[in-house]
Amino acid sequence: MLFDALTLQLGYNAALVALGASALGLAAGVVGAFLYFRKRSLVSDAVSHATLPGLALAFLAMVALGGDGRTLPVLMLGSALSAWIGLLVVSWLTRRTRLREDAAIGAVLSVFFGFGIVLMTVIQSMQSGRQAGLDGFLLGSTAGMLRNDAIVIAIGGVLVLAVVWLLRRPLLLTAFDEGFAEVQGINTHRLDLALMTLVLAVTVVGLKIVGLILIVALLIIPAAAARFWSDNAVRVVLLSGVFGAVSGHVGAALSATAPSLPTGPIIVLVATALFTVSMFFAPGRGVIAGMIRHARMRGRVDGI
Amino acid sequence: MAYEASMTEATLAGSPFVVRGLTVAYDAEAVVQDVDMTVSAGSMTAIIGPNGAGKSTLLKAALGIVRPLAGAARFWDAPLAQSRRRIAYVPQRASVDWDFPTRVIDVVLMGLYQELGLFRRLSARHKQAAMACLERVGMQDFAERQIGQLSGGQQQRVFLARALAQGADLYLLDEPFAGVDAATEAAIIAVLKSLRDEGRTVVAVHHDLSTVAQYFDHVFVINRHRVAEGPVVEAFTQTTLDAAYGGRVRLSD
């Protein structure tokens, strides 16, 4: 049954979900690698949590206008807007106050998420608007995924990858040496905003499949796992994309084999498994390789 | 002072690096105050001064890395934006993460960013150019090496090779000799002197007062304000050092 799921033969919906999830994983892995190089992985946590109020407000706005509150593109737009505001607040707090980025991230994450939860509670108590399933965006819910949803996700992923490819040189240069990049004429502040916008795009695209709480895992874990295998930035980026895509595909397939397995969390668990294997068994930077090196070194020192 | 009187408008216009009225503040404290600096073409200038005197900040503000409160730098009488291709900047070695997943040759190739831009493909010619720069600093055997495996002195040489790859006319270095061994220091100064001999201009933040006269022909003495500026024989005196360091250092003969 798992084999059927992996080879997309477990029904139309399962195949859609698996394809969408691997496209999302690929985009998240690639963007996440640049985020990891820039040492800004945690900003993605603030961005993703900051989507919730926008998501809820978009729903409320659609219901107020008399429509179905769950139209995906509109929900994505609302999420993107509020995540963008959250991002600007983090950026502003870090630049204009003495707050460090970690504190700014914590503040934005909790305030936005708290506000979003309040709005969600209001929505749950409403009588109309077909709010059932809206809380699926917290942890991902693929049960009712439509062909159009999958297309939106795929197009979003392709756009994100195209922009990353375009900006690959300045992104790497800035991640390694910000001062040098500035002197080359790269506006590093604007480039950072561009990178965060890509993160935002991945988050919004991933709302349906992984949900806003766990998308951060798909942005961080594949990159962290890939780093164990290579000292070459380009290879780390590619491998991170592959890890992300494999996590998405295998996770979606696994969750399709049983009715109650949630897709998002399973995808994250698959990514975590890849990370664990990488951490222990990667040659060079892996834990076991390091232990062997250390033991050999000790043997040599003792032998003298 | 005498050197200012001798400075004509012609040398000013021809100067590769001129700073006027530069003031930089972190929070409420001015780190660099109303500094004027004029570097003559083809010279080799040491920026010296005590810790916290604003030496690195002066360079960073001139290059737009730090935003100045007032004043600006001009390069060949043009703003920075029009001169980037002719300027090579070597940041402090400690300012980057040497565990970054990249090889020595890739760092040197970063020096070709202006030429490559977003789209141009990396060709064999670019790699040869980068290798030639590594040879010039004696690091050709390390081209494929992961940068995390380098010693401090080797890292500094790689940074210098990246600057060489830019083919610039003005080299601005922030403490190029910090934490490097004597062999590297000699290798770096040899490269810098060869650049000067080619008619290029070198400006370096420098800490070791005992080597100023040996390495450089001009000095710029700063302690938040400009203290002195000019040829070593004129500006590097006990009087100017007393003014900058508060009488704590003696100039040995």
- Residues in A 39-58 with any Cβ partner in B closer than 8 A: 39
Residue B5: predicted pLDDT: 42
Tokens (6 digits) for B24: 């930089």
Question: Which of A128-132, A237-241, B126-130, B134-138 has the least mean pLDDT?
Answer: A128-132
Residue B2: predicted pLDDT: 42
ipTM at complex level: 0.88
Residue A303: predicted pLDDT: 66
Q: Is B84 on the interface with A (CB under 8 A)?
A: yes
Question: Which of A62-66, A138-142, B97-101 has the least mean pLDDT?
Answer: A138-142
Do residue B63 and residue A231 have CB atoms under 8 angstroms apart? no
Whether the per-residue pLDDT at B114 is higher than 60: the answer is yes
Structural domains of chain B, ranges and CATH numbers in brackets = 2-245 (3.40.50.300)
A214-261 pLDDT, tens digit each? 999 999 999 999 999 999 999 999 999 999 999 999 998 898 888 778
- Across the range A144-165, mean pLDDT stands at 88
Residue B124: predicted pLDDT: 87
Give percent of chain A above pLDDT 70: 96
Return mean pLDDT, chain B: 88
Residue A132: predicted pLDDT: 67
Do residue A179 and residue B64 have CB atoms under 8 angstroms apart? no
- Looking at the partner chain, which of B60, B101, B102 has a beta carbon nearest the beta carbon of A227? B101
Residue B228: predicted pLDDT: 86
- Looking at the partner chain, which of B64, B91, B118 has a beta carbon nearest the beta carbon of A166? B118
- Across the range A3-25, mean pLDDT stands at 83
Whether the per-residue pLDDT at A85 is higher than 80: the answer is yes
Reading across the β-sheet that carries B201-205, which strands appear in turn?
B87-90, B170-173, B201-205, B44-48, B218-223, B225-231
| Angstrom distance (rounded) from CA A179 to CA A71 | 44
Suggest the residue from B89, B120, B155 to mutate for an interface test with chain A (most A CBs closer than 10 A). B89
- Give burial (CB, 10 Å; 0-12/13-18/19+) of B181: middle
Whether the per-residue pLDDT at A24 is higher than 90: the answer is yes
DSSP three-state, residue A125: coil
Q: Is A284 on the interface with B (CB under 8 A)?
A: no
Chain A residues close to B113, C-beta within 8 Å: 169-170, 173, 184
A76: left (phi over 0), alpha (psi -120 to 50) or beta: alpha
DSSP three-state, residue A162: helix
A-B C-beta contacts closer than 8 Å: 67
Q: Is B68 on the interface with A (CB under 8 A)?
A: no
**Using the 8-state DSSP alphabet, how is residue A102 labeled?**
H
Whether the per-residue pLDDT at B1 is higher than 50: the answer is no
Whether the per-residue pLDDT at B36 is higher than 50: the answer is yes
Chain B residues close to A236, C-beta within 8 Å: 101
Query: Which chain A residue's Cα is nearest to B57?
Result: A179
Diameter of chain A measured on Cα atoms: 83
Residue A134: predicted pLDDT: 79
Q: Is B81 on the interface with A (CB under 8 A)?
A: yes
Q: Give the helix/strand (H/E) hosting A72.
A: helix A72-96
A14: Cβ contacts below 8 Å, ≥ 6 apart: A5, A8, A252, A253, A256
Give percent of chain B above pLDDT 70: 94
Chain A residues close to B102, C-beta within 8 Å: 172, 176, 231-233
Q: Is A302 on the interface with B (CB under 8 A)?
A: no
Residue B4: predicted pLDDT: 46
Question: Which of A112-121, A243-252, B23-32, B67-76 has the least mean pLDDT?
Answer: B23-32
- Across the range A129-133, mean pLDDT stands at 65
Q: What CATH code is carried by the domain that includes residue A199?
A: 1.10.3470.10
Whether the per-residue pLDDT at B253 is higher than 70: the answer is no
- DSSP string over B115-170: HHTTTPPP-HHHHHHHHHHHHHTT-GGGTTSBGGG--HHHHHHHHHHHHHHTT-SE
Closest CA to B124 of B141, B105, B146, B137: B105
Whether the per-residue pLDDT at B3 is higher than 60: the answer is no
Residue B116: predicted pLDDT: 84
- pLDDT band, residue A147 (cuts 50/70/90): confident
- Across the range B132-137, mean pLDDT stands at 94
Q: Across-strand partners of B26?
A: B29
Pairing outcome for strands B201-205 and B170-173: parallel
Residue A47: predicted pLDDT: 93
- pLDDT band, residue A129 (cuts 50/70/90): low
Residue B13: predicted pLDDT: 62
Q: Is B181 on the interface with A (CB under 8 A)?
A: no
Whether the per-residue pLDDT at A5 is higher than 50: the answer is yes
Whether the per-residue pLDDT at A55 is higher than 80: the answer is yes
- Residues in A 204-233 with any Cβ partner in B closer than 8 A: 227, 230-233
Chain B residues close to A175, C-beta within 8 Å: 100
Q: Which domain holds residue A185?
A: 2-303
Query: Between B9 and B162, where is the model more confident?
Result: B162
Whether the per-residue pLDDT at A124 is higher than 50: the answer is yes
Residue identified by tokens 């939106």 is: A152
Rounded to a whole number of angstroms, the distance from the CA of B172 to the nearest CA of chain A is 11
A248: Cβ contacts below 8 Å, ≥ 6 apart: A18, A20, A21, A22, A23, A24, A25, A26, A209, A218, A267
Q: Which amino acid is at A186?
A: I
Residue B197: predicted pLDDT: 93
Do residue B91 and residue A179 have CB atoms under 8 angstroms apart? yes
Query: Which chain A residue's Cα is nearest to B97?
Result: A176
- Give burial (CB, 10 Å; 0-12/13-18/19+) of A9: exposed
Q: How many domains does chain A have?
A: 1
B177-223 pLDDT, tens digit each? 988 888 899 999 999 999 999 999 999 999 888 898 899 999 999 99
